[in-house]
Structure 1
Amino acid sequence: MRSALRPRRAGARIALAGALAAALTAVPASAQPESGRYPDLSREVLAADDGWAAAEGGTTGGSAADAAHVYTLRTRAGLVRALDGGSDVPKIIRIAGVIDANTDDAGRPLSCADYAADGYSVAGYLAAYDPRVWGAAKPSGPQEEARRASAARQAERVTLTVGSNTTLIGTGPHSGLRGAALQIEDARNVIVRDLELSDAYDCFPVWQPNSGGLGDWKSAYDTLWLRGARNIWVDHVTFDDGRRPDSAEPVYFGRNFLRHDGLLDITNGSDLVTVSWSRFSGHDKAMLVGNGDGVVTDRGKLRVTLHHNEFADVVQRAPRVRFGQVHVYNNRYVVPEDAHDYRYSIGVSTESALVVENNAFTTPAHVEAADLVKSWNGSALLARGNVFNGYPVDLLTIYNAYNSGSERDLTDQVDRLPELYGPVESAAEADRAVARHAGAGRAGR
């Protein structure tokens, strides 16, 4: 792999003369000027070497949009109109402030009670499907039918579909979407940047009695879900559960009443994705790459680059990978002192191949280096240059040593090494840079 003598910083930009922010000609992300106090990055495109999303034509988003398809929006209704049902017309959608997806067409807030239909209630649902009475069968009958009807009403409000050739970007330090389930499905060439994506809250989780052996609650919404998406760049985005973390939810049937699913899931044959300078925090299942052990159509796809991201107080899936070829470099992982539910960071699953280099892991004493990696019939993990609490760590050797006899050993035999990526810093340098520059409101600075 190649490296560079000097690391690329999040705010590095080459000043160009003229009002390029308004021009129709796209310029690379390293060559966009600042305009005023907050830079207009809406016509930036992904740099030619910036991860898998730079391959096969690169990622330019809506940079070719004409003036009629450049929007600055403050309401859900305006956002829905601009998204145009997921059309592939080049468009730039600039989010000013926070748009709440749980609002009606007049902008009035909607609560879970507003979506509830046909007599659904949490108390009624719990009484109907208590395993001590109902048993281990899937829920069915009036309360489950009412839950489905209620869930459909919420989904109609909060599910927002982004089409091809789109740039979705914030205009200020606290711009974003709250309560939205943003989806990029069967689309290509999309940029999502400089946004706070928060609290994709499911009012109507379903009980799955046979999940994991003990049963579990399943919520419907990922904050951002890529399904069959191609050439996608996610940059300087903050992902979290907002003011309603699942850790504050009650326990029903012995399981936490989960209201959120993934923060960023990349599934169903998605391909050529770069996730950079973003922040994932305060969540259970952060990022899933590949959605099933039997989905063999994912072979040769799910090529993803993760660099300069922060995973703070994330329980698991940072990421978990099936089938994909994933390059994980220069990321920052922070497990807080009180995180007693931490499970793992790097998940190596069926036919996956991960290159994990120059990442910094900081954990409390009860989390050991062997806990950082988990494998389910995993294939390959090439790990180098990583540090654990400030000291070099060989993730592959430690994983195999601690799990010998109980889990399949991993190898460092990765068939295809990453080819497109920017300068790789040392883990210590990346740790400092990510702490300072990752997340929404910091792009171009």
Structure 2
Amino acid sequence: MVVLPICAICSVHSIAATVKEEVPISQVYGSIQPPLGMAEDGAENHTDSKKILLLSFGISSVLIGGLLLCLCCLWISRLKRSKNCTVKGQQPLDGVKGRPLVPILNKLNSLRMGGKKSNVSIFEYPVLEAATNNFEETSKIDDGAWGCVYKACIGENFIAAVKKLDGGCMEREFQNEVGWLSKIQHQNIVSLLGYCIHEESRFLVYEIMQNGSLDCQLHGKGVLSICIDLTTLFNYTYELLAGPPSGSALTWSLRMKIALDVARGLEYLHERCNPAVLHRDLKSSNILLDSNFNAKLSGFSSAVSVGTQNKNDLKISETSGYLAPEYMSDGKLTDKSDVYSFGVVLLELLTRRNPLEKMSLATHQSIVSWAMPQLTDRTKIKNIVDIVIRDKMDLKHLYQVAAVAVLCVQAEPSYRPLITDVLHSLIPLVPVELGGSLRLGDNPKQ
């Protein structure tokens, strides 16, 4: 046996390592040629294996693709079925077109009055037609001076009030109402939810006010008018025989709360808006009451900014009993004109009398001229108070309210207080739970 030196062995291993790391396998075995027959068989086997591999890959791809397609179809089908169930269970449909109303309701719920008309929703006529049962008589809730008001049930849980204005002569009033109520927002001003224009008719959609107007609460509907020369006792006896007296739901505290709410709404228009806004048509029928008797101002079709008013723009009867004397005679209009109208409303709350009582076929007597002599005499004030609330208030509070009313209806505008002063005079007369500052026990008679 030949024994190699250790250095030779190391050299052999070093060369082997070098060849293993640096020389490609193809170079090491490239010089070795297989036998001729073996080479041909290997090529054929290689080609057959490649064909089988490609065929297997193709079949696998088709199977996987088909499986994925089936899974996608199942997923889409399940998604559609789930969506249909959601629509049927949660979205009320328009009875005319079958279009979901949820987008409309969501839009209404997210309204933010930002001063642009586009922020108010535009309703399609078929939606309002279906919501009011084609504006049938049973859906009517009021006959206003500017049009009939209907209760609209949109969907299952959404109720609104729809005022229908007929005829092209109402176009300016319609645009004025939409213009103002899309820009102003206050807790004591009714919210306009949207509007609709259909042929010659115009529709205004408001938040629903469950207790109607102050006019309906105080004077009722279809009640026989009693002549002014009849005594209060006879009038009350007549109403007892005819049924519950009008205004019986309005306690002294609620009436003061309503007066305070109206004053807050006017104070916002006069003092917080820039430029100041004059309502011009403040009356009991434009004071709406919600389910908790919170009062909100409505009827902004005649409202104007200070300095832009024109007497000819106001289509209100001069015999309505609410207009200030300087406006009726000279067309002068200021914020004190709204204060005068507020004073008339305050007298209505106190006496439950109409602003203008018919004495004969040709003569009328205003509540102001009738009440003024008695309001300034403390021995007579109690006699003109509505019998429903008589003896149910602190006399000191009654005297304060009478004093405020007297100041508001002064013939000279400069003698009338600002609505801010009226507001601060009423706050101490309203219980805390109704929005005033009167604490429990401060007023023994409610």
Report the TM range for the smaller structure's normalisation. Answer: under 0.3
Q: Tell me which of the two structures has the higher relative contact order, counting C-alpha pairs closer than 8 angstroms and 6 or more residues apart.
A: 1
Structure ranking higher in helix proportion: 2
Structure ranking higher in strand proportion: 1
TM-score by length of 1: 0.25
Which of 1 and 2 has greater Rg? Answer: 2
